[in-house]
A and B are shown apart, each in its own frame.
Chain A
Amino acid sequence: MSNVLAVLEQRDGVLRKVSHEVVTGARRLADALGGGATVDAVVVAAGAVRGTDALGGFGADKVITLTNPAFSSYAPEGYARVLAERAKVGSYGAVVFAASATGKDLAPRVAARLDRPLVQEITDVSVVGGAVVAIRPVYAGKALLKLRITGTPAIVSLRPNVFTPVQRPKAGTAETVAIEGPAGRVVVKQIKAAPAGALDVAEAPIVVSGGRGLKEPANFKVLEELAAAFGGRAAVGASRAVVDAGWRPHADQVGQTGKTVSPTLYIAVGVSGAIQHLAGMRTSKVIVAINKDKDAPIFKVADYGIVGDLFEVVPKLTEEIKKLHA
């Protein structure tokens, strides 16, 4: 039987939400593999991880916590070593990562140790004739590549926000295993946190992005107010033009040389919709564009558009959203 290993993510002993997507994707893959394939969800940490008990609810059959005091923060070499060992011992049919900053760093290391190919940032997965078939965007989202992975385990990472968590109650079991060995030569000394409460654009379910149409950095306040109206579910993104101008940090940039986002709702404000910007957001579920130029390319990918001056439209939108949440 070929079971599926779902690699979870924690920070400071708390499970990261992207882990729900990993378990959801792994469950889907296990069901497609058939034969009663199970999902083992594994997390590497210094000790117990808060939030793992809810994973049965997303379809995990077993949650395995691999602990070592040296693993309180991400240790690329140590994590890769113990995960590769685990993957070997369990002779899994597939190993699923999140294509988060950590997942994209960790998955290639584990794959190389297992001498197996890695398919990063997939947006869809299925099983055809017993083999895992994955789809991923290439050429900055201008094409989709469909790949068959031969042999096992098939190793994939899931693009965030694509595998929407599905509640699939299962009676899961839990297991904690203490792991020996060093954390490795590469040491995370510190995490300089972004301002408290700030959601990352790559993970927020709603993204409000601003471009050169905002005219000057201080005007991003109107977007921050709109984001705030969504009650902690929205992040503010930016086009490269405004990042290059120093108006916004690079961490907020959406696009080919910035972040790839797939939120439920993407609101592009004063963004023209250059091909490199679209590369980072075209897989959003619903796109809204607000632009004063009715011919702006962003309207070609937007589901809903308003032609008009953002300085009139956005405050009105903020007001309406606030009413909904009142």
Chain B
Amino acid sequence: MKIAVCIKRVPDSETRVKIAADGKSLDEAGVKFILNPYDEFAVEEALRRKEQAGSGEVVVIALGPAAAQETIRTALAMGADRGILLQAQGLHPDGLETAKVLAAELKDSGFDLILFGKMAIDDSNHQVGPMVAELLDLPCVTTVAHLDIQGSRGTAEREIEGGVEVVEFPLPAVLTTDKGLNEPRYPALKGIMAAKKKPLDVKPTAPGPGALEVLGLAPPPERQAGKIVGDGAAAVPELVRMLREEAKVL
């Protein structure tokens, strides 16, 4: 099994978002960056598939700044074999441009599986995986929460509104991972040491400008400071009255 996993360096979900002076981007001062949590599921799944097959290779690929080497090392510490950093200055919100760069790297590389997270928790674009699949003309299943592979065919389950879709596909394929697929392992000390010696290729890259222009990044409108209607069950009739007459939602 030869498996590629596309991983992204993202701000930790606990990050307090401060907007930079340009009014268009995140102020990165003091922000802790992590491996995108959905990509952890993808890395874990790749490692398990390789372990099951008994042979193969897991390659992690990130498009990002030089600091994304850290992110790649995290995946290598989990057990991936080698990493590729497609090094670029800043990342653009246009997911298609990211997809084009990744697709160019992945093209004709002979992977049986190419894995993505279902979304990056910073831009939540929810698109790069299926776009890469289209660009490479590969079958693709998104938001996979359960996966079974027999030979060159796979069956995946994905949540849809009110149910679960059971989907069949041939390999090679692109999959994007959802929570529930597996429990990602923590890198052990041994893995962290080993990761330092694993190959990490750095290739300068320049994604295209895309067709999206950022006009601004702003905090969400503050929700009106709500009111405490009262204490305990005695406050319920008043709550219901307010929901009816003031909020008009009942």
Interface positions of A (Cβ within 8 A of B): 16, 74, 76-77, 80, 99-102, 104-105, 107-109, 111-113, 115-121, 133, 136-151, 184-194, 198-200, 202-203, 250-251, 256-258, 264-265, 275-276, 282-283, 285-289, 294, 299-309, 312-313, 315-317, 320-321, 324
Q: Known interface pairs A144-B217, A192-B163. Does A308 touch B232 (Cβ–Cβ under 8 Å)?
A: yes
Verify A287–B226 contact, CB threshold 8 A: yes
Stretch of B79-87, B124-132, B195-203 at the chain-chain interface: B124-132
B220 and A143 contact, CB distance less than 8 A? yes
List residues of chain B with CB within 8 A of the CB of A141: 220
In the bound complex, CA of A186 to CA of B134 (Å): 13
Q: How far is the CA of A309 from the CA of B19 in the complex (A)?
A: 39
Binds A, one of B59-67, B70-78, B138-146, B184-192: B138-146
Min CB–CB distance A76 → chain B (angstroms):
7
In residues 171-207 of chain B, which contact A (Cβ within 8 Å)? 179-180
Report which of B95, B124, B166, B169 forms a contact with A118, defined as CB distance below 8 A.
B95
Contacts of A118 in B (CB 8 A): 95-96, 125, 127, 131
Q: Is B56 an interface residue (CB 8 A)?
A: no
- Decide if A265 touches B165 in the complex (CB within 8 Å): no
- Asked if A305 meets B226 with Cβ closer than 8 Å, knowing A112-B130, A137-B220, A317-B240, the reply is yes
Known: A142-B219, A187-B169, A288-B239. A108 touches B127 (CB 8 A): yes
Bound-state CA distance A77–B210 (Å) is: 24
CA distance A174 to B130 in the complex (A): 31
Does B90 sit within 8 A of A, measured CB to CB?
no
Which chain B residue shows the least CB distance to A193? B163
Q: Mark B87-128, 1 if CB is under 8 A from A, else 0.
A: 000000111110100000000000000000000011111111
State A117–B208 Cα separation when bound (angstroms): 12
Q: Are B243 and A77 in contact (CB under 8 A)?
A: no
Contacts of A138 in B (CB 8 A): 122-124, 217
Which residue of A has the minimal Cβ distance to B242?
A304
| Docked complex Cα distance between A136 and B217 (Å) | 10
19 pairs of residues in contact across A and B, judged by CB atoms under 8 Å = A107-B127, A108-B126, A116-B96, A117-B94, A120-B125, A121-B124, A145-B93, A145-B214, A150-B213, A193-B163, A250-B179, A256-B13, A275-B13, A285-B249, A299-B228, A300-B225, A303-B247, A313-B233, A320-B236
* Contact (Cβ within 8 A) A305 B167: no
User: B223's contact among A188, A303, A312, A317, by CB below 8 Å, is which?
Assistant: A303
Q: Is the CB–CB distance between B249 and A199 below 8 Å?
A: no
Please determine whether A143 and B217 come into contact, CB atoms closer than 8 angstroms. yes
Give complex CA distance A62, B212 in Å. 29
Determine the chain A residues whose CB is within 8 A of the CB of B11 once the complex forms.
Answer: 139
Question: Besides the contacts A143-B218, A188-B167, what 19 more A-B pairs have beta carbons closer than 8 Å?
Answer: A108-B126, A109-B133, A112-B96, A120-B124, A139-B17, A141-B220, A143-B219, A147-B93, A150-B212, A189-B155, A250-B159, A257-B179, A282-B223, A304-B226, A304-B243, A308-B235, A313-B235, A320-B240, A321-B240
A157 nearest CB neighbor, chain B only: B126
- State whether B93 touches A120 (Cβ < 8 A): no
In the bound assembly, the distance between CA atoms of A12 and B122 in angstroms comes to 35
Residues in A with CB closer than 8 Å to B232 are 306-309, 312-313
The minimal Cβ–Cβ distance linking B61 to chain A, given in whole angstroms, is: 18
Task: Give the residues in chain B near A313, CB-CB below 8 Å.
Answer: 232-233, 235-236
Residue of A nearest to B228 (CB): A305
Q: Mark B230-250, 1 if CB is under 8 A from A, else 0.
A: 111101110110111001011
Q: Of the candidates A115, A121, A145, A203, which one forms a contact with B126 in the assembled complex, judged by CB atoms under 8 Å apart?
A: A121
A131, closest chain B residue (CB): B213
